[in-house]
Structures are given as structure tokens and as C-alpha cells.
Structure 1
Amino acid sequence: MEAPEAAGEQAAESASRLRGLRDLWQIPTVLGAILLLLMGVFMWVRTSAPVDIDAALESVAVLLGAEEYEEAKAILNGPILSYMQDPEIHPDTLAYFYTLRADTLYLDQRDRNLDLRANNEQILSNYEQARRFGASFGDVRLYRNADTLLRLGRADEALSEARLLSDQAANQRREIFRRVIEAGLAHDARARDRALASDLLAELHKDPTLDDAGRRWLVAREARLSLQAGYPEDAMRRVLPELQRLPENDMRQGAELLLILGAAYLDVGRFDDAYTQAQRALGVLLDTDPLVAEAALLQGSALRIRGEYEQARDQFTIVTTRFPQSDAGARAYLALGEINAELGHHDIAQSSYRAVVDRLRAGRLPPDLGADQIEFSLGERHDERFERGDFETALEYARLSAACYRDGQMPAQVHARLAAVHRAMGDRLLAEVPRTSEGAIILRETDPITLEHARRHYADASRFAAAHARATVLSDPELSASALWMAAECAEKSGDLARAAELFNEYVQARHNDPRALEGQYRHAGTLKARGQYMDAIKIYEGIIDEHPRSVEAYRSYIPLAHCYILLGDADSLARAEQRLLYVISGEPFEPNAPEFRQGLLELANLYRRTARYPEAIRRLSEARARFPDLESSPSFLFNLAESNRLAAAEAGERLREAMPQSERRIMFDARTERLEQALAQYDLVRAALSTQDSKVQTPIERTMLRNSMFFRGDCAYDLALHHADDPARSERLLEEAIRYYDAAAQRYADDPSSLVAMVQIVNCYVALGKWREAATAHERARARLAEIPNDAWLNADTPMSRRHWEQWLESSFELRSRGTTAATAG
């Protein structure tokens, strides 16, 4: 068997392309040999005859020489593979086998123009196995090994292999060196790689086989390294003499030197000279030469610095149009993004930036252009638009910055920008929405789409701010704390109360000595209250009041604390709520004109109404009405006052059934009359205020107030009529008035189950008036309406059909039945 290295080198040599017509005579001979070879392999696979492994391996070498890589792999991965496990097999055979496997993988990948990490690792593994069994490599395989190591980023090992190449393979050795140097010249190269590139340049200087072209390449790389290190003067010193040595027949390399000189001029501020050198380079380059892109890029950069933006843009466009996939093309896209942004053409700018980002994500950027450089440029664009209040454009730049990074790799400043711009957009959306005097949004007058967009912006702001806080917790604790606070605030504004509570609590726990920690506790309690976690909120509010009684947060805690107690609803909690509210309006913590005093007074009145202490509720509401005249135009306040009066009148009506002195009865009789008349007037004010509004923009509470006001007007008039039964004229007038109110309510809410209330009360009114035909007709209509309404409709607590209404209707029904009166017979 031929020695592995010799045979392999021969196969490698024959793997080169045919050189011309004089080589074509080989094709029939080679094809015939391959055919015979494949027939032999087929017979070997199909029979159990003794195997000639050496001959099989030789056939692989022949197949490699003919570039038949699939057939070679079929043999190496076929039955022969099992023979390689035989402990009796000779090490030379094993070395040859693994060498051929590595050769096959290497040549096949090269032929397919692939560069897959898995393939490269397999190539190295097979070459290492071959060496373990004693293979020694010549220049061809040393180069392949070095090339593969370099593709895997193992530069030191690749250089070790390259240094083993003989002088006959000096060009291949220099190629490996050059690739390592180019990597070290990359913009984002590590300091170690730059140092290695510098050392290799020095080593190449000592290479006695280096020709003039190689020396010029060497000078060009040294000059580029000087430029990257910030020494443009040194780059000029290297390039200028070399340009004088340049032969007339090598102007292409001269163009590269001219462009390096132009870049150095650009760095020192000699913009006109930079433009001139680029122009000279263009004069000797073919239109299709990639260096044309670099020259146009240099000219565009010089023009841009001189303020000639339109001309600069034209140069950059030449690069992106004619050389879009080149390294210069990527830089030109970035420059176009910047210059179009400076000219105010942000849509075009973002399109250019997007092209750069797409190439970044696809891994097709030049080594000296990385994510951080692109993000820095986009960050400047974002900041400029943000400062001008153009948040939509700023957001798009921030999103492009985020697209520069994979998940989990986004730097802190990108999170910060996204958080800030989303919050700003949410704030702007809500800045113009109508609000109450207390600052609450008037939902009925606000577009729900606007509110949803604002909510989404705040949710995104919270998410990015929280990520910013996590990213800076060690490097800048103060900045991290501010970001965490912003995340909590924005979560609260977005309506994500669970997240807001979590973030405020995290802030308090992490920053308990921070001046904002107390406010954080207060805000945390507020989110818990809004989520219905009243006991947890109470603990925090009580703690703030007890531990920091003179703080702003303590004064702000009294009202929500009392509200939490009210919402708990048990007797002990309601007593605690009253105690806190009485303290609020005592004049000690707050002046009577303070918002907290006003709110405390209204909450106390509502507490009394909820606990059926109606006279006290009326007294506190009347006090609020006198102190704060603007409440006169508040439908919710008027409704609460009307409810308190109506329910106080109902309570008085129950008491009037009891035995009491005549003088006391007279007082209570007059008081009940006054309560009903006031309730009727106040319900009418609520109806007048709300009935003219579009129901689509009303809140559910407002719609319920309007509906109940219309029904309760009728109830008040009806109750007044019965209350004054001893005054027939007055009673009749009030009953007719009640019928009008009920009829208006029934018509407005014809499709609502509550319409039955009005229809039933109309029956009761006609019965009270002794109008039996009308009562019978109304009774039949009410029964028909009842049949249409599902039984579970009466389980709704908001429906104004009380037990009293049912009982009165029942009494009227029996009265009609006892009279034998129906709609057909009445009269």
C-alpha cells in the first residue's frame, strides 16, 4: 500500500480543476476507472468474499481525485467502517482511513460552499485520529487542518499548523496569517486578537519569501491597524512611501493604499484631501471592483462632514444600490440612516437602519460593524426625537435598537429608552382626556380606544423599566431604584394591580431607607385595596399612620384606610371606619377646605347611608352641600342625597305605624313629607343631568343612577299620595303625577326587566285612584310583560323591583279579582 501521505497528496493534487483542452483526454479514462471501481465496490458489498481494505481505501483516493465525494463517503461509511474496529488492523491503515475521511468531509464541504461548525469539528476529529495512529501531514493537509481550525475560531492552533508549512507553501501560510490579521483588525476585535494581529504583521516583515505585492498588503494592514488604534499620522507615514514604490501595473493595490490614505486624512480633518484620494482611487478601479464601494463611502463621509448632506446621500446611495451586500454597503446603509434622519426623512432613515439590522441578525455584517455601534447610532436618533416630543418616531428608533440583540442580551440603555418613550406616549394620550376636579378620568367623555392604547403603553413601559432595573442593580443601584419605581408606577397606570403591588413591595423591601420608601408603602397599600385585599392594605395604612404620624403619606392614608374598613362590612370594621372619618373632619388633621376633609365628609355620609343611619347621612350630605357648592352639579352626590331622603322617609313610614304621642306623630308626618318631596326633587335633578348624555359614553353606575332615578321619582310621588290619603285632591294629583313618571320610565326602559316595576306601579296607582278599567288594563299588560321576563332576572340586586312592589301588586290583583274586574268587563 502506498504511504498515506504520499497517496493523499497525489489525490489532493488530482482534485484540482482541469487546466484546459489539453487535459480533456483524461475524462473518458477517469470515468471508466470510476465505473469499474464502483462495480467492484458493489460486488464487495453484496458478497462475503475476503475484503481488500487497502484497495478500498485506494479507491476512495481515486474518487476524491475525481471529485466524486458522495461515492467516497458511501465507501467510508459503509461496510468498511466495521473493519476499522478490528484490533488486528494495522495502524497505518487506520491512519489512512481517518485521513481520507477528513479529506472527504473537507473537500465535499468546500465543493458545496458550506462552512458548518459540525462538519468542521468532524474534520478536525478525523485528522486528530489519523495523527494518533501515526499519520504525518504534508503541506496540503497541514493547510486544510489550519483552515478548519481557523473557521472554528481556534486561531493559535491554526497558526501552529501554518508554521509547519514548507517554503513551497508559503502563500498558504501567509493566507492563514492574513485571515488572523484581518480578524484582529475588526472593529469589535478583542485586545488579545489585536495584539496577535500586530505580532503576525511583525513576523511577516521577517518573511524572506514575501514579494512586493505581499509587502504592500502588509503595509496596508499595518496602516489600517494604526487607523483603528487612533493613529492616522502613523497610517500616513506607512502608506505615502509605499505609493511611490507602486509599479504602474499594480494600480489596484495602489487604489487600496489611496483609500487608506484618504481615511487617514478624514480622521485628521483634511476632508478635501480625503475626497481627492477617493476620487483618485476611483480613477484606476473598474466599476465592478468592490473597492469602488469603499471609495464612494469615503467620499460620502467627507461630504457629510462638510455639511453637503444631499451630495453625501447620493454617494452612500451608490454604494447601497451597486454593492448592497458588501461590507461597505452595510456601512453605507448605516450612514444613510443617520444622514436621512439629520435631514428629517425619518421613514427613509428607518428603512436604511432596518436593512443594517436585518444584516446584523443574519450574521452578514463586516467584522468592524457590530450591534453596539448600530445601537449607539440609533440611540442618538431616538434621543433627538424624544427631546423634540416626536415620541412615535423615537419609539421606532428604540425598537430598531432592541432588534439589534437576541433575547436576554439587550443592554440597559435600550430598556431605559423603551420604558421612557412608552411612558411618555401613555402620558400624552391621557393628558387631554377630561378629568374631574379630583383628577379622576371622566370615562363617559373619553374614547375607550385612547384608554386602551394608553394602557398598553404603560404596560410596556413597566416591563422595560423593570428590565432596566434588573440590568443596573449592581452597576448603578440608584438608577436601578428609579427604574423600579417607574416600573411600579406604570404597572399601576396600566391597571395591572397585581404587578404594581409586587413592584412597589419590591422597592420598599430593597430600599427601606430611601426617601420614597414611605410613598412606596402607601402606593403598595393602594394597589392591594384596589385588588380587594383589604386586610393587607389596612395593615400597611395603619403602620404608616402609627410609625410616621406627621408624614404626608399618613395624612393621605386616613381616607383609603376608612374605605377599606367600610368595604370589609362587619360591625367592628364599620365602627373603626367611623372613628377614622370623624377624626378626618374634626379639624385637627385637615382644614375644612382641604380635599381630604371633603372626601372624609362624603365617605362618612356614605357610611351612615350604608348602615341605615339615614338622618345622620342627610345631615353630613347637607353639610357637604353647604361647604362645597359645586356638589350641586354632581349627579352622584344628588343621587346619594335623594337615596338617603327616600330611605329615611321609608323608615319614618314604618315608625308611623307604631303607637306614639300625637305631637310626635305630627312632627314625624311632616318630616316624612319633607323627605319624600326632597328625594323627588333630587331624583329629578339627576334625571335632568344624565338623560341628555349619550348612554354609550356613560359609566354603568351612571346608567343605573339614571334608570333608578326615573323609577324612584314615581315611587316618591306614589308614597306622597298614600301619605296624604286624607287630602283627596292632593293625593289624586300626586297619583296622576306618579303615573306620568312610571309611564316615562316604562317607555325608556321597555326592553329592560325593570320596566315591570313601572307597569306594576301604574296598576297600583289606578287602584288607589279607583279607576278600575284602567287598573285592569294595566294589570293585564303587566302580567304579559312578566311572562316575557326570565325568572332569574329578579336575582339582580340592581333591579328596582322590591318586595314592597310585589306585595302591593298582589294586593291590587286581589282587589281587582274581588271586584270581578278585567280589561274586558271593567266599566
Structure 2
Amino acid sequence: SNLKKNTLEDYVVQSETLLVNQDYTNAGKLASTVLEEPKLNPEQKIRLNRICAQIIHDTEIPLKVHSDQRLEAFHKYFRDSIPEDRPLTIDEHLMLANVFEWQSKYKNAVDHIGSAIDLGAEDVVTLLKRKLELLPRTGYDIEQQYDQTLDEFGNRDDLSEDDLVWAIDLKTERLFRNGEFTQAVDLISKTLPRIKEEKNHLSLAYSLALGEYYQNQPDRAEPTLRTILNQLPSRDELVAKVLFLLGRICVDERPEEAEHFFDTLISNYPHTSYHLAGLVGKGQSCAMMFRFTDSTAAYLQALDLLNEIGPNKLIGKNDINQSLEKASEYLSKKDHLTQALALAKLEYDHLDVDDDQARSVMLVRLGTWHRQLAQLQSERLERVASNQIAESLKGQIHENYHRAAEYLLELSSSPTILDRQSAQILWQASACYEKANLPDDAQRILELFVKKWPNDTLIPEALFKLAQIYQSKNDFLSAETNYKILIADFARTPVGLQSPVALAQCYFAMGSNYYTQAEAVLREMVEDTSNQKLYTPESIEFRKAMFLLGKIYYFTGQYDRCVARLEEALERDSVNRASPEAIFLIAQSYRKISEDNLKKISQTTDRSLKNSLAMARQENLKRAKDLYTQSIAAIEKVSSRSELEENYLQQAYIDRADCLFDLGQYPQAIKAYEQVIDHYEKTSAALASYVQIANAYQRLGQYGKIKAVLERMKWLMQQLPDDAFAEPGKPFSRRDWQEWIDWNYRSGLLDYQPEYLAKTSGDPANF
């Protein structure tokens, strides 16, 4: 009804008056109501739309959070408030700049600020500062535009000292970022004499020191920084920057002093980016002083604080990771690999999951350091005397190779790794699993390798390693398959040349039913002239084949052939690891041949043949006896004997004594049996040796000494554990031995009488 009392023009003017008086609520209500009148002329519509746009703009200025709906309404009103073909005014450009900034459309805001400056806006300094603040937020490539704007701002004559220092700070920051340290230092040096206000002067002096630090001139920067430190209040922000830079200068050469600066930051600037910087610096300085617990704790606190305070301009996750990298690299160079690995693992755990390149670099480092640590521990193991320490070291070695393998396995599947590189890394992982004593994992990786890269140059070695693993697990058929492939397809490769002996070892381990196949493989190596180009008598594999062939002949009862092969093998290679076993088997063969001589003596009535066989038996026993002595010496020289070698050694002691007994050399036999007792007094072999000593004294007619032997046996019986009577191949129980001793006491043998001996076999002790 009121609208009818006034003209439309009156209401437009009234809206404008309310706007001027900043009565935004009533001005907005009236203007929006009048805009609905159909009789408005175009000029009135423009004025009313301008009022509505202005109200939205002015009421949004003090707000921290802006309404998207209101800002979109602003643009509608603003568009309708501009006559066609009329350029925008300075105020209109600035109004649009504000709204676009509130909408985070920084590129549009920057463009309108530039247009306002071009049209002759008055406060150019303020507008240029605002433009410099907004340009980095546009998301566009603005480097050139930013530099031009910054130079335009810095070269103005009407700048206040504060604005000049602000501009110099921005310029030097960009120069620092681009590595143009000399230009930055020159700029600051030229500007510094013009600065009179102390705070600004000290701020620029700090920037100058920072530039000198970046120029690798810390000796020039440090005095300036210490001067600033003495002239400002202890909790000033510039002091925090100075403390941080002084800590960085000192951390490598003077970590104790650096820690003091970082501790001051931690104490004086809690829960700030400077607190965070102090923790990172403390972590690095403690690492330099080998205070590993303190270093790790500081880095962990830094990571927690970063999550708490969020991203900041001073220290980010990348800065923490770079510090961790420097600390871990330093520790690795100082041979503190365990601690270096702990920091490197911390760095790796906090890398971005999508940063494939950085993760790959860290995986290489972690895998390499774990292998290096395992190698150092292996070298130390060779010098360790304590079994307890040795076992602990072995566990650590296996663990480090295991971790290296895991990191390499992860690296092999990284998107940054090429196919060929992946194959090589997977190969290294399998080797680490082997050294970690994890054959199942090594097998899994090698089988994957063979499947994925069947034409790789490492395939022969992969097949051989797999065959070795299969063989160690008694999966002889799988091992046989691989060895045959190697012999057929890769005969001239190093592993192909090793495969026949390995295949023969497989057959040998499979049992007597496969001895013939083992012999055939080996004879083809050492006898087939067509293979001489592959295996010369001087080659290692030829000599291995000779040793194994002789061993097969022994276990198949071909003792003459065994002796021939093994003696030839020893002539070619007397220092081979198999030499002690070969000497023992030759001795055993001569003993077996002597037993065959004795058997033939009992089977013939030809006196001449009997004499010949008896002489041969004596000669074979002598050879066996001498070879047992040699095998004892050879086996005892082996530093780390296998269970089989321990068995050979015990048997050699026993059989040497038996040979002396069979030769009738009873005093020497008694001494030899005493050696058996000395070496194996906690076993039933000692009891058997006492029996033979008693028999030897009987043969020598020294019956009085037999009682002493029986008494020693009784004492030993009391000392032996029950399991000594349960050894494989030992049928006599403790009770059986006791009954034998008692029988000897009752037999009358110990009370020697010729009449008694005439009625006996003369050998009552031998049962």
C-alpha cells in the first residue's frame, strides 16, 4: 500500500540512502522488493541491482566464512548492475577481486587487482602486496608474473621500510629456493645499509646469514647470528629462526652445542613449528653423538607433533625424512649399521604410500645395509671363541639376511623397477633367503623366478640352486629333473659342469638300488673320452667324481676298485675336503680285503696258496693300520667335523687297534685300545676295548693284568649312562656286560694253572 503513495524513483533513492547509512538490512529488503516491480525503467533496475550487490559485498567483508549462495547472488546482481559496453571502474574491479578471493578463485581475483592498478588505483603498494599474496595460491604457473610483480613492488620509491624489508624477504626466499644464493646475498648486502629500524635491520641480517649458510660459508654466518641472539628478547620469533640456523650450522661438527640450541627451541616455543624443528635437530645431533635412544625418541616426538600441529612452512614430513636420512647415512659410515637401520626403518615407515620412487630408494638402502650388517657379523663369527656368542651371532646373521630378503622382495614388485631389474632383485632376494637358512622361502622365490623369466641368463644357476634345495629336503626326484635339464641344455655352464656329480650324489643318497645309476653318471665323466673336453683330470669336478666313484665302489663291496679310484683321487688332490674320508675308506677296503683273505684261507687246502693268502692278509692289515693312523690325523685336522666324520674318526681308532691285534702286535694293540678308551670313555666302545685288552694280555700270557682290566670295566660300568647301552649296533645291555665280567672271575682264568689251560681253548676272555 505504501508503494502507491510514492513513486518508484522515490523508493530507489530511499534504498540508496539506507545503503549510504549502512542500514544494510532495510536497504536490502526495500531494494529487493522494488526490483519485483514490472514498471521499473532500465536505469532504475541497474541502480537497485547495484545496491543489492553492494550490500552482499559489504556484509561479507567482516566474515571469516562466506556463504556460497550469497556470493553467487552477488554475481547475478553485479552483472545486472553494469550497463552494456561500459568498462568496470576501479572500485568494481576491487569489489570483484574480493568476492573471487572469498570463493577461492584466486586467478580471477589477481586479474581484477591488476586491472584496478592499471586504471590508476591509489594505494598501489597495498594492492601489489595483496597480488603477491594471492599469486602463489592460484594453482597456475605464475613464476614469471610473480617475479615481475615482486620486482615492480620492490623498485617503488614510496615503500615504507617495513614494506621494503617485506619485499626483500620475499625476493631472497625465491632466490634461495632457486639456488641463487649469491644474488640473494648481494641484494641483502645492498639493502641493509638503508634499513634504520633495529628489528628490520636484524631481520635482514638474519636473511644475509642464511644466504651465507647456503653458500657453504657458515663461518661468516655464525658471528652475525650470535650478534642477533644477544640483541633480541629470548622468545622473539626471529630468535627462534636464529637458534634453528645455529643448530644446523653446528650439528655436523659440534653436535653437543647444536643440541643446546635445539633444546632451547623445544623449551621456549612449545607446540609450534619451532618446537618441531628443535625435535628434528635434536634427533640428528644425538645421532651424531651416538646417543641412539635419545635420537630415536626425538624423531618419534617430532612425528607425533607434526600430526598434532599439521603442515607448516618451517618443517614438514619431507624435512624430517631428510634429517633421518642424514643421520642414518652418518651412522652407517661409522659402522653403526644396527642403529642406522633403526632410523632408516623409521624414515621408511613414514614415507607417503604413493611415493613409489622414495620407497624404492629406501628399500634398496634397507636391503643393502641388512646384507652389509650380516656380512660384518659373519666376519666377526670367524673370530669368536665362545659358543654362546657364536650361536647368538648366527641368529642375528640369519635375521639380517631374512630382513634383506623381505625388503628386496618388496622392491622387486615396485612400479619404478624395470622387468630386468626386477629379475635381478628377485635373484638377490633368493640368495638372502638361502643365507638366512630359509630354504622354503628361497625355493619359493627361485620357482617364481624360473616361471617368470624362463629365458633369463640366470636360469641355469636358478635351476641348480633349486636342485640343491630339493636335494637337501630329500626330494631327489625333483632334484634329478633339474640336474638332467642342466646336463642336457646347459652342459658348458659352470653349474652344468657341476650337475653330473650332484646328480650322482642324489642317486647315492637314494639308496643301494640307485648305486648303478650313480656309477654310470660318474664313469661317463672320468672314462668317456668324448667328455674330456668338458672334464680334464685337473678339473675340480673330475676329482670330485673320482672320490664319489670310489665311495660307491666301497659301498657296493668292490674294494679293489675302491682302492684304485680313491688312491688315484688322492694323488690328484690330497687337500680335498673329501680326502680324510677317502683315506678312511681305503683303510676300510684293505681291512675288508684282509677279511676276504682269511675267508679264502679257511676254504683252501693248498698249503702254498694258504701261505700266499696269509702273507697278503698280513700286508693288507699293515696297510689298513697305517691308513687308519693317517685318517685319524686327517680327520682331527678338520675344524668343524660332521657327524659322519665323527663316526669315521671313532671307527678309525677302533679298527686300527683291531688291525694291530689281528697282526699279533699285542703290546701295540693294547696301547691303541687304551687310546679308544681315552677318547670314548663314555661309550660302549670303551667296554669293547677293555675286552680286547683282556684278550691281548691273555695272548701275551700276562693273566695277572686281566683282573685290573676287569676292575676298570666295573668302574666304567657304574659311570656310563643308560643310553650308552642303547647305541645302534650295540646288542649288549648293562646286565650282559656285568654277567661277562662275573663269568671271567668265576672261570678260573685269573688263577692261572697249566692244567686248566690244557682243558680249555686258551682264550676264555673272548666270547
TM range (shorter): 0.5 to 0.7
Unaligned runs of 5+ in 1: 1-136, 147-157, 164-180, 206-211, 436-440, 721-730
Deviations 1:103-126 (A, max 9, x none): xxxxxxxxxxxxxxxxxxxxxxxx
Residue 536 of structure 1 aligns with which residue?
Answer: 478
1:384 Cα deviation from its structure 2 partner: 6.9
CA contact (8 A) 2:283 2:299 kept: no
Matches of 1:190 and 1:657, distance apart in 2? 112
Matches of 1:548 and 1:253, distance apart in 2? 78
Within a 5 Å distance, the mapping from 1:571-582 to structure 2 comes to 571=513, 573-582=514-523
Deviations 1:547-566 (A, max 9, x none): 22333321111111110110
Residue among 505, 521, 546 paired with 1:601: 546
Matches of 2:421 and 2:323, distance apart in 1? 23
Question: Partner of 1:513: helix, strand, or coil?
Answer: coil
* CA spacing shift, 1:269–1:556, aligned 2, 3 Å: closer
Matches of 1:351 and 1:484, distance apart in 2? 37
Residue 505 of structure 1 aligns with which residue?
Answer: 447
Question: Partner of 2:414: helix, strand, or coil?
Answer: helix
Residue 821 of structure 1 aligns with which residue?
Answer: 748
Within a 5 Å distance, the mapping from 1:90-489 to structure 2 comes to 226=174, 230=178, 259=206, 263=210, 278=225, 282=229, 285-299=232-246, 314=257, 317-323=260-266, 327-328=273-274, 330-331=276-277, 347=290, 355-360=298-303, 363=306, 367=312, 368-379=314-325, 390=334, 392-406=335-349, 411-430=359-378, 451-471=394-414, 475-489=417-431
Residue 518 of structure 1 aligns with which residue?
Answer: 460
CA contact (8 A) 2:255 2:286 kept: no
**Is residue 649 of structure 2 the alignment partner of residue 755 of structure 1?**
no
CA contact (8 A) 1:772 1:821 kept: no
* CA spacing shift, 1:505–1:664, aligned 2, 3 Å: farther
Residue among 711, 722, 739 paired with 2:670: 739
The farther-off stretch of 319-328 and 264-273 is 264-273
Residue identity matched to 1:757? A
Question: Partner of 1:524: helix, strand, or coil?
Answer: helix
The farther-off stretch of 711-720 and 600-609 is 711-720
CA contact (8 A) 1:713 1:741 kept: yes
1:432 Cα deviation from its structure 2 partner: 8.4
Unaligned runs of 5+ in 2: 1-58, 69-100, 107-131, 154-159, 757-767
* CA spacing shift, 1:762–1:333, aligned 2, 3 Å: same
1:527 Cα deviation from its structure 2 partner: 2.1
1:761 Cα deviation from its structure 2 partner: 2.0
Deviations 1:198-235 (A, max 9, x none): 9xx99xx9xxxxxx999999979966974686487999
Residue identity matched to 2:632? R
Residue among 620, 642, 647 paired with 2:565: 620
* CA spacing shift, 1:280–1:680, aligned 2, 3 Å: closer
Residue identity matched to 2:518? A
Matches of 1:360 and 1:414, distance apart in 2? 18
* CA spacing shift, 1:246–1:743, aligned 2, 3 Å: closer
CA contact (8 A) 1:492 1:527 kept: no
* CA spacing shift, 1:597–1:361, aligned 2, 3 Å: farther
CA contact (8 A) 1:614 1:647 kept: yes
CA contact (8 A) 1:776 1:822 kept: no
CA contact (8 A) 1:419 1:461 kept: yes
Matches of 1:796 and 1:351, distance apart in 2? 57
The farther-off stretch of 331-340 and 548-557 is 331-340
1:299 Cα deviation from its structure 2 partner: 5.0
Within a 5 Å distance, the mapping from 1:740-819 to structure 2 comes to 740-769=671-700, 774-775=705-706, 778=709, 782=713, 785=716, 789=720, 793-797=724-728, 801=730
Residue 91 of structure 2 aligns with which residue?
Answer: none
Residue identity matched to 1:359? A
1:418 Cα deviation from its structure 2 partner: 2.5
1:782 Cα deviation from its structure 2 partner: 4.2
1:599 Cα deviation from its structure 2 partner: 0.9
Output the TM-score relative to the length of structure 2: 0.64
Matches of 1:715 and 1:144, distance apart in 2? 107
Residue 119 of structure 1 aligns with which residue?
Answer: none
* CA spacing shift, 1:619–1:260, aligned 2, 3 Å: same
Residue 718 of structure 1 aligns with which residue?
Answer: 661
1:738 Cα deviation from its structure 2 partner: 1.9
Matches of 1:362 and 1:639, distance apart in 2? 71
Question: Partner of 1:486: helix, strand, or coil?
Answer: helix
CA contact (8 A) 2:185 2:211 kept: yes
* CA spacing shift, 1:638–1:192, aligned 2, 3 Å: farther
Residue 583 of structure 1 aligns with which residue?
Answer: 524
CA contact (8 A) 2:703 2:752 kept: no
1:286 Cα deviation from its structure 2 partner: 0.8
Matched length:
613
CA contact (8 A) 2:697 2:705 kept: yes
* CA spacing shift, 1:540–1:761, aligned 2, 3 Å: same
The farther-off stretch of 645-654 and 768-777 is 768-777
* CA spacing shift, 1:411–1:372, aligned 2, 3 Å: farther
Residue identity matched to 1:481? A
1:637 Cα deviation from its structure 2 partner: 3.3
CA contact (8 A) 1:645 1:675 kept: yes
* CA spacing shift, 1:657–1:499, aligned 2, 3 Å: farther
CA contact (8 A) 2:547 2:578 kept: no
Matches of 1:481 and 1:549, distance apart in 2? 23
Larger radius of gyration: 2
* CA spacing shift, 1:268–1:475, aligned 2, 3 Å: same
Matches of 2:226 and 2:744, distance apart in 1? 110
Residue identity matched to 1:606? K
Residue 491 of structure 2 aligns with which residue?
Answer: 549
1:579 Cα deviation from its structure 2 partner: 0.9
CA contact (8 A) 2:601 2:610 kept: yes
CA contact (8 A) 1:290 1:323 kept: no
1:139 Cα deviation from its structure 2 partner: 12
Matches of 2:731 and 2:622, distance apart in 1? 21
Matches of 2:750 and 2:264, distance apart in 1? 90
Superposition RMSD in Å: 5.5
Residue 584 of structure 2 aligns with which residue?
Answer: 639
* CA spacing shift, 1:243–1:603, aligned 2, 3 Å: same
Matches of 2:637 and 2:503, distance apart in 1? 36
* CA spacing shift, 1:795–1:653, aligned 2, 3 Å: farther
1:678 Cα deviation from its structure 2 partner: 1.4
Residue 759 of structure 2 aligns with which residue?
Answer: none
Matches of 1:757 and 1:353, distance apart in 2? 65
* CA spacing shift, 1:552–1:702, aligned 2, 3 Å: closer
* CA spacing shift, 1:767–1:443, aligned 2, 3 Å: farther
* CA spacing shift, 1:634–1:551, aligned 2, 3 Å: closer
Output the TM-score relative to the length of structure 1: 0.60
Question: Partner of 2:682: helix, strand, or coil?
Answer: coil
Residue 74 of structure 2 aligns with which residue?
Answer: none
Matches of 1:467 and 1:261, distance apart in 2? 46
CA contact (8 A) 1:566 1:574 kept: yes
Residue identity matched to 1:492? E
